[in-house]
């Protein structure tokens, strides 16, 4: 069996994601589609609107054959690390290709990659975002800058694929209609950004949403509890107010004195949005601040995140019969550990960070995210 991979968040799954999946199958002719999906905490440093099990169910209903989780120590990182985690998992699973959406799929990503320094060391300074540093180097060497989020992520897939031996054939496709940051659902359109759909869902604008998501997604949005940062604000404020500056300094992506700024603003902030506004500066983007807030809430230290990134794994969330057959085909050749359930040992060691992230998410969601959970078997 041949497999095509997709790296996603499905927050929530919408018509653009359906198009992505369908085109991936058409372009590759693959027998099996594998989705690496962020768990309950996402790349922009925010909780998922719907939990990972609901999103897995929606993905399987949409035609995905196998869903595996992108661990929290990659899912909440800047683009180059987010991409590295997903590409490593797809490579380990023996995928032949990775299909991704881009604003400008006509760009020669492989050629642009050759123009950059061979080492990533140049992009490890915390006083500027990775994207800013990367684009400065790219502009200097090629005259090109990547200003769109999915173009940037696509480039990072090429870097990661090179790191893991170029096993994957990378296939960019045109992102449909809506821009990544569009905040409104346009009338008479069948596509909308995740940003616009989330905003509409929180306003219960179901008539707008129904045109741009599958019926199953609409049902889940209408009936499930939707998690957002304000739900977790009391817990975050408590962490920031009670932790010492020494402790706060150790949190992942906290640097350049940001620990003092976050702790000080938490004393007087009245909401999560207020905290972000008070902490924002030219040095720190909202996304960076949200990722730092996620690390603080989950008490993820830089040391444990970096250690965990050296021990990636394949955590299965769900599959259908095709996905199950594919797993059976490749499991003896897997180069990463394969996990289908949480044991006490994994909870304390191998899956400790994802287990912690799930437990915190449960404070609002109310449903077990890891303990006693087995992969969803979709009946087709």
Ligand-binding annotation for 40, yes or no, is no
Ligand-binding annotation for 150, yes or no, is yes
Ligand-binding annotation for 175, yes or no, is yes
Q: How far apart are CA 326 and CA 2, in angstroms?
A: 9
The DSSP code sequence of 276-311 is HHHH--SSS-HHHHHHHHHHHHHT-BHHHHHHHTTS
- Which pair of tokens denotes residue 25? 């199958």
The DSSP code sequence of 310-337 is TS--EEEEEE-HHHHHHHHHHGGG-SS-
Q: Are 40 and 33 in contact (CB under 8 A)?
A: no
Q: How far apart are CA 254 and CA 244, in angstroms?
A: 13
Ligand-binding annotation for 17, yes or no, is yes
| Three-state DSSP class for residue 5 | strand
Q: How far apart are CA 341 and CA 318, in angstroms?
A: 11
Ligand-binding annotation for 29, yes or no, is no
Ligand-binding annotation for 20, yes or no, is yes
Q: Are 190 and 212 in contact (CB under 8 A)?
A: yes
Ligand-binding annotation for 372, yes or no, is no
Ligand-binding annotation for 19, yes or no, is yes
Ligand-binding annotation for 362, yes or no, is no
Ligand-binding annotation for 166, yes or no, is no
Ligand-binding annotation for 15, yes or no, is yes
Q: How far apart are CA 260 and CA 167, in angstroms?
A: 44
Binding residues for ATP, by number, are 7-20, 101, 150, 175
Binding residues, by number, are 7-20, 101, 150, 175
């Amino acid at each position: 069996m041949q497999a095509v991979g997709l790296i996603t968040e499905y927050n929530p799954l919408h018509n653009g994601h359906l198009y992505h999946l369908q085109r991936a199958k058409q372009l590759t002719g693959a027998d099996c589609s594998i989705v690496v999906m962020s768990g309950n905490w996402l790349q922009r440093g925010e909780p998922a609107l719907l939990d990972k099990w609901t999103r897995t169910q929606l993905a399987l209903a949409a035609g995905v054959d196998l869903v595996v989780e992108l661990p929290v120590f990659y899912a909440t990182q800047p683009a180059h690390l987010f991409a590295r985690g997903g590409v490593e998992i797809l490579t380990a699973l023996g995928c032949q290709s990775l299909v991704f959406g881009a604003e400008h799929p006509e760009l020669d990503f492989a050629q642009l990659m050759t123009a950059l320094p061979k080492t990533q060391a140049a992009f490890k300074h915390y006083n500027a975002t990775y994207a800013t540093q990367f684009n400065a180097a790219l502009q200097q060497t090629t005259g090109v800058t990547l200003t769109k989020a999915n173009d940037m992520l696509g480039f990072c897939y090429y870097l990661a694929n090179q790191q893991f031996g170029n096993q994957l054939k990378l296939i960019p496709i045109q992102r449909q209609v809506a821009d990544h940051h569009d905040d409104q659902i346009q009338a008479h359109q069948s596509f909308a950004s995740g940003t616009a759909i989330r905003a509409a869902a929180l306003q219960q604008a179901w008539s707008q949403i129904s045109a741009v998501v599958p019926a199953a997604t609409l049902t889940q949005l209408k009936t499930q509890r939707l998690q957002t940062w304000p739900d977790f604000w009391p817990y975050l404020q408590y962490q920031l107010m009670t932790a010492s500056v020494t402790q706060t300094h150790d949190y992942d992506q906290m640097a350049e004195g940001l620990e003092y700024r976050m702790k000080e603003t938490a004393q007087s902030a009245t909401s999560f949005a207020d905290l972000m506004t008070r902490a924002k500066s030219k040095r720190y983007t909202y996304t960076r601040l949200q990722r730092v807030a996620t690390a603080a809430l989950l008490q993820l230290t830089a040391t444990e995140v970096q250690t965990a990134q050296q021990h990636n794994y394949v955590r299965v969330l769900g599959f259908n019969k095709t996905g199950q057959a594919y797993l059976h085909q490749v499991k003896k050749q897997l180069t990463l550990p394969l996990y289908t359930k949480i044991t006490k040992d994994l909870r304390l060691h191998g899956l400790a960070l994802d287990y912690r992230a799930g437990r915190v998410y449960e404070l609002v969601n109310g449903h077990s995210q890891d303990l006693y959970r087995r992969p969803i078997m979709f009946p087709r």
